[in-house]
Amino acid sequence: MTTRITVTALALAGLTAGAALAEDDPRPEGLAALGPPPIPADNPMTPEKVALGEKLFFDPILSGNYGMPCSACHRPEAGWAVQAPISFGYPGTTHWRNSQTVVNSAYYGKLFWAGASGSLEHQARSAARGGVAGNGEDDMMEARLAFVPEYRAAFKQVFGDDWPNIRHAYMAIAAYQRTLVQTDTPFDGYMRGDDDALTEPQKRGLALFAGKANCIACHNGPLLTDEAYYNTGVPPYGGWEEDPVAQVTFRFELYAKGVTEKKYRELKDDPGLYFRTKQASDMGKFRVPSLRYTKYTFPYMHNGMIETLRDVVVFYNEGGGENEFAENKSPLIRPLGLTDAEIDDLVAFLESLSGEEILAEDPELPVMEPLPVAQN
């Protein structure tokens, strides 16, 4: 089954975390049901703002070539992501990392695989302007918005703008993304006290998750991530050896984000957090993603090199993999000794972290018209 959503159905939804569990409840400590998303004080939610943000999320007007909306790399029918190892890139490029789902992105304190943005507002701006993503310029995108009467009226109503302000466009998109949340998974029901919300295999998988497999060491809390950075040994993206456009894009990112000439010439794997810290000890580390909604967001890892959830469990059961930054591989990553039956149970539990698929139709978008001529 699928769930089709509209802005009015989700905007300002009164989601609650549910009643507190009894002290003697056997559910693992360190995990919890997901409550309502945090709303920043400087960007309060209104239905009108969310409706504007929905249109802007799907509108290619916020890109360099008028062809790369947010939804180009975050398709509802593809888990609000891209079901390919590497995300789509601006024409003439490819991307260089896997597209992450925007479902539940409202809860993150760190956006992007290396935590480069601290808010959805900043993330929207970075994506719209990114050289291999939207590749837009703020003044150009703002001028385009001014040519759309419906947007002029909406920005006036929502923000009081005489003319659309691009900073406010990013705030509206962020508001819309904060409606794309899922708090009604089988796991949430179980953590709120419904013993029948999980199947017996899923309950066994939960015990493995918090015990023998020790997934909870990094995937904890209501969002099932500690948002810390680890190198788990994910192998390099194979396309860099085979696809010349991917190789050029990778070198562009190395240059743009700043590495030594030696690293620029020799690196054949994504340095990850190093781009931000320039510390050798951060080579190959990436932020732990949430495990929520992962049923729909294959393939997995920062470069999409693992195809299925079962493949992910097998990868960790074997002690992770090997990459160019082996000296930074986390000591938490070690062989787990799970049997095939235990792997099946753990996969069953991971699937309980996703509810029904969230789908949405692309909205009807407004069109440009000539600006009104000033009258003397």
Q: Is residue 349 part of a domain?
A: no
Q: Is residue 68 part of a domain?
A: yes
Q: Distance between CA 303 and CA 291 in Å, rounded?
A: 16
Instruction: Determine the distance from the C-alpha atom of residue 188 to the mean position of all C-alpha atoms in its chain, rounded to a whole number.
Output: 20
- Residue 284 · residue 270 · CB < 8 Å: yes
pLDDT at 365: 96
**What pLDDT tens digit does each residue of the chain (376 aa) get?**
444 343 333 333 333 333 344 455 678 999 999 999 999 999 999 999 999 999 999 999 999 999 999 999 999 999 999 999 999 888 888 899 999 999 999 999 999 999 999 999 999 999 999 988 989 999 999 999 999 999 999 999 999 999 999 999 999 999 999 999 999 999 999 999 999 999 999 999 999 999 999 999 999 999 999 999 999 999 999 888 889 999 999 999 999 998 889 999 999 999 999 999 999 999 999 999 999 999 999 999 999 999 999 999 999 999 999 999 999 999 999 999 999 999 999 999 999 999 999 999 999 999 988 877 655 5
**Ordered DSSP codes for 244-286:** HHHHHHHHHHHHHH---HHHHHH--S--BTHHHH--GGGTTBE
Residue 226's H or E segment, with its range, is none
Q: Please state the domain count of the chain.
A: 1
Q: Which two tokens stand for residue 242?
A: 């085979």
Q: Is residue 213 part of a domain?
A: no
| 184 CB burial (10 A radius; 0-12, 13-18, 19+) | middle
Which amino acid, 321? Answer: G
pLDDT at 205: 98
Which CA distances in Å does 294 have to 6, 14, 57, 194, 310? 22, 24, 22, 22, 12
pLDDT at 23: 55
Q: Is residue 149 part of a domain?
A: yes
Q: Distance between CA 200 and CA 210 in Å, rounded?
A: 16
Q: Distance between CA 332 and CA 326 in Å, rounded?
A: 13
Q: Is residue 265 part of a domain?
A: no
Half-sphere exposure for 175 (CA within 13 Å, toward CB):
28
Torsion of CA 299, 50, 12, 21, to 10 degrees: 20
In which domain, by residue range, is 174 found?
Answer: 37-182
CATH code of the domain covering residue 174: 1.10.760.10
Phi, psi of 166 (to 5 degrees): -60, -35
Q: Distance between CA 234 and CA 181 in Å, rounded?
A: 28
Paired with 75 in beta bridges are: 81
How many residues are listed for the chain in this entry?
376
Q: Which residue's entry shows tokens 């919890």?
A: 32
CA angle 245, 247, 252 (to 5 degrees): 95
pLDDT at 140: 95
Q: Is residue 87 part of a domain?
A: yes
Q: Is residue 204 part of a domain?
A: no
Q: Which residue's entry shows tokens 């696809």?
A: 243
State the pTM of this model. 0.91
Q: Quick one: DSSP state of residue 144?
A: H
Q: Is residue 100 part of a domain?
A: yes
**Ordered DSSP codes for 36-69:** PPP--TTS---HHHHHHHHHHHH-TTSSTTS---
Q: How far apart are the first and last CA of the chain?
A: 60
- Residue 201 · residue 345 · CB < 8 Å: yes
Q: Distance between CA 218 and CA 234 in Å, rounded?
A: 16
